[in-house]
Amino acid sequence: MPELPEVETVKRGLLPLIGQRWRHVTVRRADLRRPLDASAFSPWRDATVCAVTRRAKVVALELVRADGARAYLRFHLGMSGRLYFTDPASEWLPHEHLELAFSASVLRFRDPRRFGWCDLLPADDYASWSATLAPEPFSPELTPEWAMRRAGRSSIKAVLLSGRVVVGVGNIYACEALYRAGIAPQRLAATLSAEEWAKLIAAVRAVLEAAIAAGGTSLRDYVTVDGAPGWFQVQLAVYGRAGQPCVRCGTPIERIVQQGRSTWWCPRCQAG
């Protein structure tokens, strides 16, 4: 279930593609979360990968063509998507939907639940899409002032998940960040003070930083592009820990449902 740290880890694993040329795409299954349109790829054959980037939970290869035109090959891993290098001759595994051949590497996309997608966008369209999104967690644009302007009328948990204040925060890190900041998930976002927002923004950054440093969270099926598991799970303080004692105060962690999603929290440490 990739969130930002997992996608960031995948991004770093794809850096060896820089300098390689994209040669070929093989589609085994096109009905992903968004239908895969391989015909959009063909004008970009032999383009060179000049950068690997990430925006929110999307990882992208920046391609530059001989005529100078640029495009972005975007991947969204959904919740079960994986991207890894493989041998050119290796047999197709179940749920492998896509293969991209580069001059020195072969990349495959596997996604049992097919919540992920892949497309190729001209650089202008990529920039327009990126401009519609809220700031990245580590962006200096993410300030308490910005957050208070964008808070809206929902609970703070819903606002974190919605992406209207900051992108890339999914259910796991929303729960963990609220715990670390000592803020109750049911609080209306509009009632948070500048100080509380500052604390929450710092908490979001801290949990994401720790998760990236650990190579991403692994709940069940997340692995890096090299196939190594990312075991950050042991460090989660509240997520999935209903009934277990809070690591700080011993109060049993509670599970509630907000917007149809589970929230885990400590009613004592997050009394605010």
Q: Which stretches of the chain bind DNA, using CB under 7 A?
A: 1, 3, 31, 33, 56-58, 76, 78-80, 94-95, 112-115, 152-155, 158, 161, 163-164, 170-172, 220, 239, 259-262
Q: Closest distance between DNA and the C-beta of residue 20, in Å?
A: 27
> Which is catalytic among the residues 6, 8, 11, 57?
57
Q: For residue 5, indicate whether it is catalytic.
A: no
With a CB cutoff of 8 Å and minimum separation 6, the contacts of 128 are: none
CB 192 within 8 Å of CB 148: yes
Q: Closest distance between DNA and the C-beta of residue 46, in Å?
A: 30
Q: Closest distance between DNA and the C-beta of residue 88, in Å?
A: 25
Q: For residue 57, indicate whether it is catalytic.
A: yes
Sheet holding 82-86, edge to edge: 22-27, 96-102, 106-110, 82-86
> Which is catalytic among the residues 21, 23, 70, 261?
261
Residue 83 corresponds to which tokens in the numbers above?
A: 């991207």
Residue 12 corresponds to which tokens in the numbers above?
A: 């770093």
Question: Is the Cβ of residue 41 or residue 239 nearer to DNA in the bound state?
Answer: 239
d(CA 150, CA 133): 12
Q: For residue 34, indicate whether it is catalytic.
A: no
Q: Closest distance between DNA and the C-beta of residue 260, in Å?
A: 4
Question: Is the Cβ of residue 57 or residue 199 nearer to DNA in the bound state?
Answer: 57
Question: Is the Cβ of residue 39 or residue 132 nearer to DNA in the bound state?
Answer: 132
d(CA 46, CA 68): 12
d(CA 71, CA 73): 7
Residue 72: name the closest of 50, 103, 46 by CA: 50
Q: Closest distance between DNA and the C-beta of residue 269, in Å?
A: 20
With a CB cutoff of 8 Å and minimum separation 6, the contacts of 124 are: none
> Which is catalytic among the residues 3, 62, 96, 196?
3
d(CA 54, CA 40): 21
Question: Is the Cβ of residue 171 or residue 270 nearer to DNA in the bound state?
Answer: 171
Question: Is the Cβ of residue 3 or residue 196 nearer to DNA in the bound state?
Answer: 3
Residue 177: name the closest of 153, 161, 194, 154 by CA: 161
Give catalytic residue positions: 2-3, 57, 261
